[in-house]
């Protein structure tokens, strides 16, 4: 039988702090396929996430198909706004949520993984994080600082992660990120430079697939996912409307689920997808191919 088998593979999913988003569903799908999964969690959300886990609030979501429980191999602090610890300003490094965490930068994450497991220990890296401090502002009203923060955290971080983590991968290594159709079509309300960040992320996926493919033999893809009422998406303020609009107007009139995206990510990470790199893969029930709203 042809199946997604990630037994013996080690994965890192960056951007997990609860069980409501795409990162969690991807982590679970990778584990269901047999991979060992660590996560990278944004320091301001780290304590809440650890509490949710320790108090059993996520037990139901952590239950696996075989009756076992998903257990993360490691939970690493990660602020993807910083490539090196020195890049973080003093007020961040001294902030109570960051102070005791050691090196929470992208290079720090790579160093910790190398210390914990050795170099040549990683197979799958998922970038499932985004942040646009001015996401509620139209692009026309977005400040330069807000725009650059959105692009830095949500797009450049992928380049930085490929640079830092690709050298740690074993043959067959795979990177995947999450993008959104606002990169190529206007989604009113998805502001603050987040649409620009997603356009950059998709372009970078192609260039990184070439550069890191030649240098390290890894594959780099991105999943263009339909709307989901995750914690991050709820910050946009109109996510319920976006979900309902897409459900009503997609080729398949259903809302996309986090599991749909998790399963695609597991496939892309697997040897079954050995020929796929530099691709933007739509997981949106076919919404991207529609050209007109469906009369209700
Ligand atoms: N939810 C949607 O409708 C939708 C649609 C398409 C694509 N996506 C993308 O999916 C990815 C995951 O988002 P989600 O919607 O599942 O929400 P989510 O809240 O589950 O994930 C976003 C994560 O990013 C983390 N984060 C924010 N700033 C960070 C930083 N500086 N460093 C490290 N981590 C940071 C947050 O703590 C959170 O865990 C994002 O790239 C998002 O743009 C989401």
Q: What separation in Å is there between the alpha carbon of 129 and the centre of ligand 1?
A: 4
- Regarding the beta carbon of 222 and ligand 1, being less than 6 Å apart is answered no
HSE at residue 231, side-chain half, CA atoms within 13 A, is: 15
**What residues does 259 pair with on adjacent strands?**
none
Closest CA to 239 of 223, 228, 254: 228
Give the pLDDT confidence score for residue 235 in this predicted structure: 83
CB under 8 Å to 254, separation ≥6 — which residues? 247, 285
The ranges of the chain with pLDDT < 70 are none
- Regarding the beta carbon of 173 and ligand 1, being less than 6 Å apart is answered no
Contact assessment for residue 220 and residue 230, using Cβ atoms and an 8 Å cutoff? no
Exposure letters 27-40 (e unless 16+ CB within 10 A, then b):
bbbbbbbebbbbbb
The rounded distance, in Å, linking the Cα atoms of 57 and 283 is 28
CB under 8 Å to 71, separation ≥6 — which residues? 62
- Tell which one of 82, 130, 260, 288 to mutate to probe ligand 1, the residue whose CB is within 8 A of the most ligand atoms: 130
Regarding beta strands 219-225 and 169-179, do their DSSP bridges make them parallel or antiparallel, or are they unpaired?
parallel
Q: What separation in Å is there between the alpha carbon of 27 and the centre of ligand 1?
A: 14
Note the pTM of the prediction, 2 decimals: 0.98
- Regarding the beta carbon of 225 and ligand 1, being less than 6 Å apart is answered yes
Q: What separation in Å is there between the alpha carbon of 146 and the centre of ligand 1?
A: 17
Q: Token digits for 76?
A: 């690493």
């Amino acid at each position: 039988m042809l199946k997604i088998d990630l037994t013996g593979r080690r994965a890192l999913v960056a951007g997990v702090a609860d069980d409501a988003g795409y990162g969690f569903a991807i982590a679970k799908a990778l584990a269901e396929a047999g991979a060992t999964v660590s996560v990278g969690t944004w320091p301001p959300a780290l304590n809440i996430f650890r509490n949710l886990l320790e108090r059993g609030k996520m037990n139901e979501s952590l239950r696996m198909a075989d009756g076992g429980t998903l257990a993360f191999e490691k939970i690493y602090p990660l602020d993807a706004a910083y490539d090196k610890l020195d890049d973080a300003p003093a007020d961040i490094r001294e902030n109570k949520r960051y102070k005791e965490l050691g090196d929470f930068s992208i290079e720090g994450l790579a160093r910790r993984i190398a210390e914990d497991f050795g170099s040549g220990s990683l197979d799958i890296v998922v970038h499932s994080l985004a942040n646009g401090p001015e996401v509620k502002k139209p692009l026309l009203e977005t400040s330069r600082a807000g725009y650059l923060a959105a692009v830095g955290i949500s797009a450049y971080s992928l380049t930085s992660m490929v640079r830092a983590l690709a050298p740690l991968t074993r043959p067959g290594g795979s990177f995947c990120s999450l993008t959104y159709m606002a990169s190529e079509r206007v989604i009113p309300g998805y502001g603050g430079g987040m649409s620009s960040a997603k356009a950059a992320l998709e372009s970078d996926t192609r260039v990184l697939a070439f550069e890191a493919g030649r240098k390290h033999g890894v594959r780099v893809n991105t999943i263009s996912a339909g709307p989901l009422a995750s914690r991050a998406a709820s910050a946009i303020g109109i996510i319920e409307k976006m979900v309902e609009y897409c459900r009503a107007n997609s080729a398949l009139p259903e809302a996309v689920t986090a599991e749909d995206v998790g399963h695609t990510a597991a496939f892309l990470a697997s040897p079954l997808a050995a020929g796929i790199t530099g691709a933007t893969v739509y997981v949106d029930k076919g919404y991207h191919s529609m050209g007109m709203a469906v009369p209700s």
